[in-house]
Chains A and B, each alone.
Chain A
Amino acid sequence: MTTSPHAAHQPDTAAAETDDVLRIRKAGKRFRSGWALRDLTLTVRRGSITALLGPNGAGKTTLLRAVSGLLDLTEGTVSFNGRQVSSTGTPERISFLAQDKPLYRRSTVADMLQIARHLNVRWDAALARRLCDEAELNQRARVGALSGGQRSRLALAIAFARRPELLLLDEPLADLDPLARLEVQQTLLSTVAEQGTTVVLSSHILGEIEHVCSDLAVITDGRVSLRGETDEVIDGHTLLIGPGSEPAALQWIPREQLVEVRRTPRQTAVLLEGPAPLPPPGWSAERPSLDEIVIAQLRRSRGTAVAGLSDLDSAPTREAS
């Protein structure tokens, strides 16, 4: 069990520890309505910011609740720092911030902080105070009267004051206006840089968190359909752009690498996994954005891209024979 201080206050020189803080093995969760998680395996590197991406209902919240010790898995295990997590309660070194930000709306900010202090064994009052001051929260204001962004920052202050090693955030930016989104990200990232916290956050959109997460896992139908370090995921794909073409003209595309084909009368865009073959004249290779990759992979796992694929596959074979 490591309790090293992550070289706090020296983020510039902090050597990244490379061990896994969280290991999820073959996790499955069945509700009465069916399987919410199925055979889901995922590890989270210490010091990473990992994004769980996927459509609503993909199982992200269920996974976060299992990691927080708020529900029992039907199958598989979750271990945090080598110790198995069960539904007997959230481990002391984990903070979980649910999407609905469970705060007492009729309490004042000061009372809310007092309550949280009594509910938690570990409590860094100075940190909570500083984060509230930075958010310019009036200690006497009622929680229910705060703006969405301020409420998020109060909830973040409470989550950080537990001094967690692992911070779990369920849709932390949903329902916030653009300025509040920026401010919540700024608070989150600067505190993470200072404290060395590992973060797992869920989001149904990628958008502005693209450059925030070092790692990502795309979750569809309770499974991980794509995962890796953000840079490696991008480097592992190539986008080829060429003229609008008949399916027969696309035979050079290696089918086993194909993720998605988008065709318009004047342009064809082909997203491939792995190193790209040398495309014919008139085509160019580009670095895809993470957005493009994730959306294409989501479509593929949902089977929507198959239409484009079968188009491609049936037409050329007919021409070739």
Chain B
Amino acid sequence: MSVIEFRIDRRSGTPPYLQIVDQVQQALLLGRLREGGRLPPAREVVAVTPINPNTVLKAYRELEHLGLAEGRVGAGTFITRSTARPQVDPRGELGVALGDWLRAASAAGLSRQEIETWLGAALDDVFTPAAPAPPSGSASNNLGRTR
């Protein structure tokens, strides 16, 4: 049984290989994948998620390129760097505060989408001054702002 199962959203504008990269990074951040852990071989991934096996290999190459994983001949692809942050713990101080805030927002009648929009704007406020240009795919937002 693999420690991680990839979910590919067919309707998403994000290419499938980047969806895998994102999901591995998320699993690393949350500590579900750790240094030394083995990523499931392409055969196991496509036996569950119907995508092209080469897409899995492309995602793993991208993770190697990012310095997060390493392919070992005949053995598979392994995580080389753990990015887990002890702060990212649903039961920690920040996690509890976040959960409380989200529940309060929900109780106040805000929908999930409204909360996401608010969070996105709040994140922009905190991170925008030093942040580089947003990644591709948010071209519509770009246009919205320049108008």
Partners in one complex: yes
Binding site for B on A (CB under 8 A): 10-13, 16, 47, 49, 182, 185-187, 189-190, 192-194, 208, 210-214, 231, 234, 241, 281-287, 289
Identify the 3 closest CB pairs spanning chains A and B, nearest first: A284-B140, A190-B47, A189-B46
A212 and B55 CA atoms in complex are apart in Å by 9
Residue interface mask B16-57, A partner, CB < 8 A = 1: 100000000000000000000000011110111011111101
Which of B7-15, B80-88, B100-108, B119-127 is the contact stretch?
B7-15
CB distance from A190 to the nearest CB of B (A): 4
A231 and B73 CA atoms in complex are apart in Å by 27
Number of interface residues of B (CB under 8 A): 33
CB distance from B80 to the nearest CB of A (A): 15
A12 and B142 CA atoms in complex are apart in Å by 38
Tell whether, in the assembled complex, residue B47 and residue A186 are in contact, meaning their CB atoms are under 8 Å apart: yes
Tell whether, in the assembled complex, residue B71 and residue A286 are in contact, meaning their CB atoms are under 8 Å apart: no
Residue interface mask B133-147, A partner, CB < 8 A = 1: 000010110011011
Interface of A is mostly: mixed
Residues of B within 8 A of A208 (CB): 10, 50
Tell whether, in the assembled complex, residue B50 and residue A193 are in contact, meaning their CB atoms are under 8 Å apart: no
Please give 6 more A-B residue pairs, beta carbons under 8 A apart, in addition to A211-B52, A286-B140. Answer: A11-B57, A12-B57, A189-B53, A212-B50, A212-B51, A214-B52
CB distance from A218 to the nearest CB of B (A): 18
A13 and B41 CA atoms in complex are apart in Å by 10
Residues of B within 8 A of A49 (CB): 52
Closest A residue to B50 by CB, please name it.
A185
CB distance from B56 to the nearest CB of A (A): 8
CB distance from B67 to the nearest CB of A (A): 18
Tell whether, in the assembled complex, residue B43 and residue A194 are in contact, meaning their CB atoms are under 8 Å apart: yes
Residues of A within 8 A of B47 (CB): 186-187, 189-190
Residues of B within 8 A of A213 (CB): 52
Tell whether, in the assembled complex, residue A16 and residue B54 are in contact, meaning their CB atoms are under 8 Å apart: yes
